[in-house]
Amino acid sequence: MVFVWSIYAAWLVLIVYLTVSAFGVKRDTEEHIAQRLGLMFAMILAFLLPRVPMFRFVNFAPVNAVLSSIGVIVAVTGMAFLVWARQTLGSNWSQIVSAKHGHELVTSGPYRYVRHPMYTGGLVACIGSAIVVGGGFVFLLILLGVIFLWRVGAEDRLLARQFPDEFPDYARRTKALVPFVW
């Protein structure tokens, strides 16, 4: 049970960090309330679905200590990568796909390896969490996976418009989510 609580504690710390670090970011050039609501709805749905009788099979935690340890390490590694990416973005970060006032193309830190390291880190954290806890994290992985795949395309199009001289070369030399693969 300590592994399960470790996962929830790590996510709580991550959410608090992301919330606090959102203060002082550059303002979005326009509001996208549908994106904000869609992300919130997906997270709520992910934790409601395991309560539906036909989906109870995903409630498999706790598993053995070795697999749980691996899951915690994977989850924390994903979260650390996400935090590194968030720190590197600085005031250019946005919860939604949106241009910022004074937007800059960030290509350093984890952005040297993938164009969307926060999504990579988030998905890795969900995989580790699903190994340990199952339930909502299984559905969170699926739902966020779909949302993140959409956002990769949307952000790439936005960055191509915002940075027509720099982004195409950056996109050619840097994979989207998985280093050296995609």
CATH number at residue 83: 1.20.120.1630
Count of domains for the chain: 1
Quote the domain boundaries for residue 88: 62-95+103-177
In a domain, residue 55? The reply is: no
pTM of the predicted structure, to 2 decimals: 0.88
Residues 6+ apart with CB under 8 A from 130: 71, 137, 138, 140, 141
In a domain, residue 122? The reply is: yes
In a domain, residue 67? The reply is: yes
Q: Identity (one letter) of the amino acid at 56?
A: R
Q: What are the pLDDT digits (tens) for 116-156? A: 999 999 999 999 999 998 888 888 888 888 888 988 999 99
In a domain, residue 38? The reply is: no
Averaged confidence pLDDT in the chain: 88
Q: What are the pLDDT digits (tens) for 22-74? A: 888 877 776 667 776 777 788 788 778 877 887 777 777 667 899 999 999 99
* Other Cβ atoms within 10 Å of 47 Cβ, number: 13
